[in-house]
């Protein structure tokens, strides 16, 4: 079957012979699409993932010349219902990794994920179809992503895989919860119920902080990207600044997965960061913004391996900036020490993981609203605390963050921080002038 695989990104895909039984089956489902050809088939090889295991993957062509990438999966645990919103797998990873290589990609693509559900998973109806909200369709690659859940007993042409019984035994059962929307709770999480986490030796406890205020649009996806990490020793802390939208409802939905969350007014982002740091128990701390997500479920494993090699400061890696129209890759700046005196190099704080003892000593300055991370990293550099740049992709960052909306104000604060900490004022101002000029030219070109 491997020999039949064509280049997924090719515009010249040819139909494959011998798969009419699969094609007939797909057309018998309630998908509202009629497929005329299967142009790519691949065995969906994977370990047992969080509640499901892969079976087959297809690329099908419709009568209207649209491509549908179809994943067939076996779901053995209802926890799969928590993962729909962050379903970006090998195809998206390949696309994002090769985005700067002029890869020719057909933009008219859709994705359908079909789960055959174990008999213990109770479906409300004989079949269940869910569509991923548009804001959770990453990278402007898929136009739509939909999920179809089918009972295990339905007739189908697939051979379902054997399962890792040891992993199944350790997988927690997901219990749906009912939430009252008229009651505001200012704190919660596992810690409020007496559940504490710890780590040791080669498996240290890693704390992840998310700060949010009125972030209902993307927060659920951010939460899922943390709780679905495969590293077992993660402590998740969420600091809410007193949201008035549906943010608290989302946080409460995952109350049994979050170690501690707090909702109260604060003095800005830096204050929220510092609050989160004070509440962390882990030896290593990462900060993930409320509209960002980790690149893959093994991201924290990658970080822990770096610290296991006697890393005593911090590390940072590659990120992908995404918006409705563009994807850009930003590599970790290996020469950041030479540049940081005058402007912010490519150290993107959602990719940073740092020893807790360092963050506790330096913290974030509350006098900075937009470039508190630059001020922190410059102080660390001046104290000879140097981070390690990684080649791996760590996060996917949406370009709707505060510093992107307030670009000029951020650049002014960078100039202020650089001169406050002893950088040459003339060179710092020259850097400031150059950056805002380049930004102004880019904005003019857009219009």
Q: Is the pLDDT of residue 205 over 80?
A: yes
Q: How confident is the model at residue 385 (pLDDT cuts 50, 70, 90)?
A: very high
397 φψ region: left (φ > 0), alpha (ψ -120 to 50), beta (else): beta
pLDDT of 403 above 90: no
Nearest-angstrom CA–CA distance, 317 and 320: 10
Instruction: State residue 300's pLDDT score.
Output: 97
The percent of residues above 70 in pLDDT, for the chain, comes to 74
Res 142 pLDDT > 90: no
Look at 82 and 4; give whichever has higher pLDDT.
82
* CA nearest to 236, candidates 199, 197, 187, 270: 197
The confidence band for 170, taking pLDDT boundaries of 50, 70 and 90, is low
pLDDT at 436: 59
**What pLDDT is recorded for position 232?**
92
Average pLDDT over residues 440-445: 60
Which of 59-68, 76-85, 177-186 shows the lowest mean pLDDT across its residues?
177-186
Q: Among 123-137, 307-321, 335-349, 368-382, where is mean pLDDT lowest?
A: 123-137
pLDDT of residue 407: 62
Higher pLDDT, 133 or 267: 267
From CA 262, how far away is CA 335, in angstroms rounded?
38
Distance CA 61, CA 33 (A): 10
Q: What is the pLDDT of residue 173?
A: 47
Q: Reply yes or no on whether the pLDDT at 404 is more than 60.
A: no
Percent of the chain as helix, strand, coil, to the nearest 5: 35, 25, 45
Q: How do residues 261-320 score in pLDDT, each as one tens digit? A: 999 888 889 999 999 999 999 999 999 999 899 999 999 999 999 999 999 999 999 999
* Domains of the chain from N-terminus onward: 2-167 (no CATH), 183-446 (3.90.550.10)
Distance in angstroms (rounded) separating the CA atoms of residues 82 and 90:
19
| Over residues 184-202, mean pLDDT | 83
Question: When comparing pLDDT for 221 and 78, which is higher?
Answer: 221
Give the model's pLDDT for residue 439.
Answer: 58
Confidence class for position 152, pLDDT limits 50, 70, 90: confident
Confidence at residue 356, expressed as pLDDT on a 0 to 100 scale: 95
178, two tokens: 């009912």
Which is more confident, 232 or 134? 232
Contact partners, residue 150, CB within 8 Å, separation at least 6: 29, 114, 115, 116, 117, 127, 156
Which residue do the tokens 């006098």 mark?
367
For 180, the enclosing helix (H) or strand (E) is none
Lookup result for tokens 């099908």: 60
pLDDT the model gives residue 104: 47
Question: Averaged over 399-421, what is the pLDDT?
Answer: 68
Encode pLDDT of 18-54 as tens digits: 678 888 888 888 787 889 999 888 776 655 567 788 8
Place of tokens 């890696």: 317
pLDDT of amino acid 10:
35
Quick check: 95 pLDDT over 90? no
C-alpha span between 157 and 21 (Å, rounded): 7
Element (H, E) at 425: helix 425-446
What's the pLDDT at 130?
Answer: 82
């Amino acid at each position: 079957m491997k020999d039949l695989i064509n280049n997924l990104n090719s515009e010249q895909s040819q139909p494959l012979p011998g798969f009419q039984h699969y094609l007939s089956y797909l057309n018998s489902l309630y998908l509202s699409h009629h497929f005329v050809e299967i142009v790519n088939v691949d065995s969906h090889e994977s370990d047992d993932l969080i509640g499901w295991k892969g079976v087959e993957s297809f690329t099908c062509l419709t009568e209207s010349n649209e491509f549908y990438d179809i994943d067939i999966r076996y779901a053995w645990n209802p926890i799969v219902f928590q993962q729909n919103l962050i379903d970006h797998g090998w195809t998206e990873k390949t696309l994002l990794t090769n985005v700067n290589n002029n890869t020719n990609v057909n933009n008219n693509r859709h994705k359908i994920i079909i789960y055959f559900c174990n008999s213990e998973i109770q479906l409300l109806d004989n079949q269940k179809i869910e569509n991923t909200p548009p804001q959770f369709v990453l990278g402007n690659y898929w136009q739509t992503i939909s999920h179809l859940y089918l009972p295990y007993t339905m007739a189908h042409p697939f051979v379902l895989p054997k399962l890792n019984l040891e992993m199944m035994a350790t997988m927690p059962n997901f219990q749906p919860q009912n939430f009252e929307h008229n009651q505001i709770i200012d704190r919660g999480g596992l810690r409020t119920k007496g559940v504490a986490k710890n780590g040791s030796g080669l498996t240290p406890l890693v704390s992840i902080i998310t700060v949010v205020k009125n972030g209902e649009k993307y927060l659920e996806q951010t939460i899922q990207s943390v709780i679905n990490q495969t590293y077992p020793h993660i402590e998740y802390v969420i600091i809410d600044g007193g949201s008035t939208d549906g943010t608290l409802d989302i946080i409460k939905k995952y109350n049994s997965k979050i170690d501690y969350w707090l909702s109260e007014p604060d003095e800005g982002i830096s204050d929220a960061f510092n609050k989160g740091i004070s509440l962390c128990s882990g030896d290593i701390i990462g900060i993930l913004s409320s509209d960002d997500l980790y690149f893959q479920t093994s991201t924290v494993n990658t970080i822990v391996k770096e610290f296991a090699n006697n890393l005593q400061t911090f590390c940072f890696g590659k990120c992908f900036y995404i918006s409705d129209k563009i994807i850009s890759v930003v590599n970790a700046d290996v020469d950041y020490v030479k540049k940081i005196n005058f402007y912010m190099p490519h150290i993107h704080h959602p990719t940073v993981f740092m020893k807790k003892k360092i963050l506790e000593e330096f913290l974030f300055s509350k006098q900075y609203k937009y470039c508190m991370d630059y001020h922190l990293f410059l102080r660390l550099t001046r104290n000879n605390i140097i981070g390690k740049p990684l080649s791996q992709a760590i996060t996917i960052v949406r370009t709707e963050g505060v510093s992107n909306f307030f670009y000029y104000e951020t650049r002014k604060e960078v100039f202020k921080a650089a001169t406050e900490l002893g950088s040459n004022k003339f060179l710092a101002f020259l850097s400031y002038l150059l950056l805002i000029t380049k930004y102004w030219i880019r904005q003019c070109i857009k219009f």
